[in-house]
Amino acid sequence: MTIRHHRGRYEIRRFDLDELQQQLASEPWVITDENVAAAYRGAKTELVLKPGEETKSFPSYQHLVEQLASLSVRRSHRLVAFGGGVIGDLVGFAAATYLRGIPFVQVPTTLLAMVDSSVGGKVGVDLPLGKNLVGAFHPPSEVWLCHELLATLPDRQVRNGMAEVWKYAYIMDADLADQLDAAIPTQASMLSETLVDRCIAHKRDVVQADEFETNGLRAILNFGHTIGHAIEQVLGYQELLHGEAIAIGMVFEARLGELLGFTEAGTAAIIEDQLLRQGLPTDWEGFQNPEPLLQAMFRDKKVVGNALAFSLVPKIGACKLVTDVPVAAVREVISR
Ligand SMILES: NC(=O)c1ccc[n+]([C@@H]2O[C@H](COP(=O)([O-])OP(=O)(O)OC[C@H]3O[C@@H](n4cnc5c(N)ncnc54)[C@H](O)[C@@H]3O)[C@@H](O)[C@H]2O)c1
Ligand SMILES: [Zn+2]
């Protein structure tokens, strides 16, 4: 599969595990985290970082680029991000900025990274004030997909990635929603290459239509994310995984859409039922105190003036960015 972007294009290439290990062995700058390094001891890695969202931060970014400098990594070299979205975003941001930009390869090892973060060129780090507040558009030079890597993924991480898979179904693929509904993959062994490819194709279509998030098209990928990101931020990126937070976000943003008369009645209940059966959370006790959450939403990148913007689904399989959502409606939905 080919992804086009402002500076050209990149290929998504499939490898089996043996081929991938050989490919990695010929790369001098493979960067990963401790869990991936432990699961794939045979794979050659150069720098091994701590796992977890805290690694997607300024301190570890600084540490990483200092290491690159001390190892004399040059502009002609390329970094290989071998890991989940945290490693992909961090290494991608290092690649975007170190020496004013060097190439990098994404080797996604989680379902979430395969279907979402490794495609689209967004890289960056979190600030204590919010997620992804510093970053760049720096497309990878290649993405290497190896389905076998999913075999070692814990079930919770499978469900986490499935939240983004359901998101594609809700925003643009009603047929996928029906298929998933009939057979929900809850373990890595139940995930097919076809499913992963179908999601990547959706992400490709959206990012090619709006690479820099300027015409509102790419914003549809944020369904569930305005509330989800706010939850993650209030929790200090602890307790809930990204997919878990957006699962809650999708249910409540569907309810918000219903309250506004934008979303077909009954949609939120269907989404809630499906995500519950997926084993994802659909409610959060923090809603009892909505003010910190609302404040977090006002720091969202989509905020224009005093109105809140949400990517809402009119029905399952379609999505549109709605600006001018009254704060009162949001407060009502989350404090119900
Ligand atoms: N750039 C984008 O467009 C984009 C899109 C979506 C999400 N993201 C970002 O991605 C991050 C989340 O990514 P994630 O869910 O992949 O999290 P992650 O990178 O933290 O990986 C999840 C956990 O699984 C472990 N792991 C990874 N691969 C494994 C494997 N094959 N076997 C066993 N364990 C493995 C990791 O060590 C980690 O503990 C968030 O920071 C989010 O903001 C970015
Ligand atoms: Zn997401």
Return the HEC string of 136-171.
Answer: EECCCCEEEECHHHHHHCCHHHHHHHHHHHHHHHHH
Pocket lining for ligand 1, CB < 6 angstroms: 33, 35-36, 39, 51-53, 56, 83-87, 89, 109-110, 112-113, 116-117, 120, 122, 131-132, 149, 152-153, 157, 160, 242
Residue of 222, 253, 258, 272 marked active site: 222
Q: How many angstroms separate the CA atoms of 162 and 61, rounded?
A: 28
Residue 74 makes CB contacts below 8 A (sequence gap 6+) with 99, 102
Q: Which residue's CA is minimally distant from atom 7 of ligand 1?
A: 117
Q: How many angstroms separate the CA atoms of 158 and 179, rounded?
A: 17
DSSP state of 187: S
User: Which residue, 311, 142, 121, is CA-closest to 211?
Assistant: 121
Compute the C-alpha angle 222/242/47, nearest 5°.
Answer: 115
Active site residue 222: yes
For CATH 3.40.50.1970, the residue range(s) in the chain are: 2-152
Mean pLDDT of the chain: 94
Model pLDDT, residue 41: 85
Give the residues across from 4 on adjacent strands: 9
Å from CA of 222 to ligand 2 middle: 7
**Number of other CB atoms surrounding residue 297 within 10 Å:** 23
Q: Which atom of ligand 1 is nearest to the CA of 111?
A: 16
At 7, give phi and psi (nearest 5°).
-105, 5
Q: What architecture is the 2-152 domain classified under in CATH? A: 3-Layer(aba) Sandwich (3.40)
Residue of 77, 138, 198, 225 marked active site: 225
Residue 321 makes CB contacts below 8 A (sequence gap 6+) with 216, 219, 220, 222, 302, 309, 310, 311
Listed as ranges, residues in the chain with pLDDT below 70 are 300-306
Q: How many angstroms separate the CA atoms of 203 and 157, rounded?
A: 20
Q: What architecture is the 155-335 domain classified under in CATH? A: Up-down Bundle (1.20)
Active site residue 53: no
What are 11-38's pLDDT values in tens digits?
Answer: 999 999 999 999 999 999 999 999 999 9
Shortest-distance ligand to the CA of residue 249: 2
What are 76-117's pLDDT values in tens digits?
Answer: 999 999 999 999 999 999 999 999 999 999 999 999 999 999
Model pLDDT, residue 215: 82
Q: Which atom of ligand 1 is nearest to the CA of 51?
A: 37
Active site residue 229: yes
For CATH 1.20.1090.10, the residue range(s) in the chain are: 155-335
Tokens 């290989």 correspond to 80
Residue of 203, 253, 258, 272 marked active site: 203
Reported as type and span, the H/E element at residue 180 is helix 174-182
Model pLDDT, residue 129: 77
Model pLDDT, residue 209: 87
Model pLDDT, residue 27: 94
Tokens of 150: 């999913």
Shortest-distance ligand to the CA of residue 132: 1
Residue of 77, 122, 167, 255 marked active site: 122
Å from CA of 75 to ligand 2 middle: 31
